Structures are given as structure tokens and as C-alpha cells.
A and B are shown apart, each in its own frame.
Chain A
Amino acid sequence: QQQVKQSPQSLIVQKGGISIINCAYENTAFDYFPWYQQFPGKGPALLIAIRPDVSEKKEGRFTISFNKSAKQFSLHIMDSQPGDSATYFCAASISLNFGNEKLTFGTGTRLTIIP
């Protein structure tokens, strides 16, 4: 059972444009939603994360929008640059009294920024 569904599978955006990747989750117990960026030959790197007590979080050109009632969250990359070309994964986890449970990942979006 895939608990985190991610779309689109691939995305091509022109330089300077906005890249948008969407995720939907099923388990309402999830309360930590990170996005990871992965370059070829590297492990995933944490990009930005959000908790459900806020509807939006912005860090530089990266913004997460969160809709708790729809059980959806999305990553927006503003002013997309060729260096942003990578595979992006959304993920979800459940907080414990001390720390978090495992990460459940989406299937990934391959983003290509063209000049």
C-alpha cells in the first residue's frame, strides 16, 4: 500500500519558471512532511520540511504548501535554475515522544530545468 503518492513523475521547466511537485498522503497520523533532493550518485538531502500546524513554509526559493483537510502538500521552486535539476522526493513520518518513526517516501519526481 503506497501511503504517499507523488506527481508528476517527471517535470521540465524553463529557467526562471516555477516548478511545482505535489504529494498526497493517506495516514492521518503523519505529522512531519519533508522534501528531499537527490542528485545522481548521491544520497537524498533534506531540502525543507513542514509540520501540520502551519499551512506554508518558505526557505529561500523553496516553499512547502500544506493542506491538512485535503491531506496534500506541495513543493514550489521559484526562479528555477539548471542547478535545481535533480530528483525530488516527498516523505512523511510520525513523531514520537522523542524523535520520529521511519520515513515513508513518495516515488520521486525527476525535475529538469532547461535554459
Chain B
Amino acid sequence: ETGVTQSPTHLIKTRGQQVTLRCSSQSGHNTVSWYQQALGQGPQFIFQYYREEENGRGNFPPRFSGLQFPNYSSELNVNALELDDSALYLCASSLERFLETQYFGPGTRLLVL
């Protein structure tokens, strides 16, 4: 098991609602990346936070936003949920953006009805 934890594990929302997902990074890691994994697909990069600043963003609309706290834990917020937002949301923490040190959490399964 990695030291990356995510909450909640599962979530059901309705279209138009807002959701907040949480990620606790591995001890000593200062970088958190968020990915969206649709069913049967590879993870897609949403954005990365490095030392509390957004450091790179994928092709996702502004209703996907995030935050990193001084203890390097992170939140992913999604506003105005759409049916296509149904997916597994993964966070991964690493040390100083080095992918060799990156560990993924187990993910949050979001279902939008």
C-alpha cells in the first residue's frame, strides 16, 4: 500500500451539483497531481500542485479547480457536474515533481446521475 490516501472512496452526485475530493500525500512529498480515469481508459492529467501553486494543467475546463495546503494535502473541486464527469479520480504525490518517486492513491469513484 502507498502512503497516498483519498476520500471519499465513492460518491454519487446529480448533474449540476458541486463536489470536493480530497487527497493526503505521502509523507515528505510536496507535489500532488490529479488524474481523471474514465471507465476502460487511461488516466488523463487534470493539473498538478507543487509547493501550493498550480504547476501545469491538462485539457480540462475551469470548473475543475484545486488547492494544495501547507501540509501538501490537496483538494479537487468540480462545479456544475456533468454526466461525463463520472470517472475514477486519482491523485498522485511525488517528491519535487520526480515521477520516479510518484505514488498513486486508490482513487475516488464519482458517479454523476
- B-binding residues in A (CB < 8 A): 4, 6, 32, 34, 41-46, 49, 89, 91, 93, 96, 98-108
Determine the chain A residues whose CB is within 8 A of the CB of B44 once the complex forms.
105
Supposing A102-B45, A105-B44, A106-B42 touch, asked if A41 and B99 sit within 8 A by C-beta, the answer is no
**In the complex, are the beta carbons of A41 and B106 less than 8 A apart?**
yes
Determine the chain A residues whose CB is within 8 A of the CB of B8 once the complex forms.
none
How many residues from B make CB contacts under 8 Å with A?
A: 28
Number of A-B contacts defined by CB within 8 Å = 66
Query: Is B48 part of the binding interface, using a Cβ–Cβ cutoff of 8 Å?
Result: yes
Q: A22–B106 Cα gap in the complex (Å)?
A: 26
**In the complex, are the beta carbons of A102 and B41 less than 8 A apart?**
no
Name which of B63-71, B78-86, B90-98 contacts chain A. Answer: B90-98
Interface flags for B33-46 (1: CB within 8 Å of A; 0: not) read 10100001111110
Determine the chain B residues whose CB is within 8 A of the CB of A99 once the complex forms.
31, 94, 96-99
**In the complex, are the beta carbons of A89 and B43 less than 8 A apart?**
yes
19 residue pairs from A and B, CB less than 8 Å apart: A42-B107, A43-B2, A43-B103, A43-B104, A43-B105, A43-B106, A43-B107, A44-B43, A45-B2, A89-B43, A91-B42, A93-B99, A96-B97, A98-B97, A99-B97, A100-B97, A102-B56, A102-B58, A108-B40
Which residue in A34, A43, A104, A107 is a CB contact (below 8 Å) of B45? A104
Query: Is B74 part of the binding interface, using a Cβ–Cβ cutoff of 8 Å?
Result: no
Interface flags for B3-38 (1: CB within 8 Å of A; 0: not) read 010000000000000000000000000010101000
Determine the chain A residues whose CB is within 8 A of the CB of B105 once the complex forms.
43
Q: A43–B26 Cα gap in the complex (Å)?
A: 14
Query: Is B102 part of the binding interface, using a Cβ–Cβ cutoff of 8 Å?
Result: yes
**In the complex, are the beta carbons of A89 and B42 less than 8 A apart?**
yes
| A102-B48, A103-B35 known, 8 other contacts, Cβ within 8 Å | A43-B2, A43-B104, A43-B106, A93-B99, A100-B97, A102-B58, A103-B43, A105-B43
Supposing A34-B99, A99-B98, A100-B99 touch, asked if A45 and B104 sit within 8 A by C-beta, the answer is yes
Determine the chain B residues whose CB is within 8 A of the CB of A89 once the complex forms.
42-43
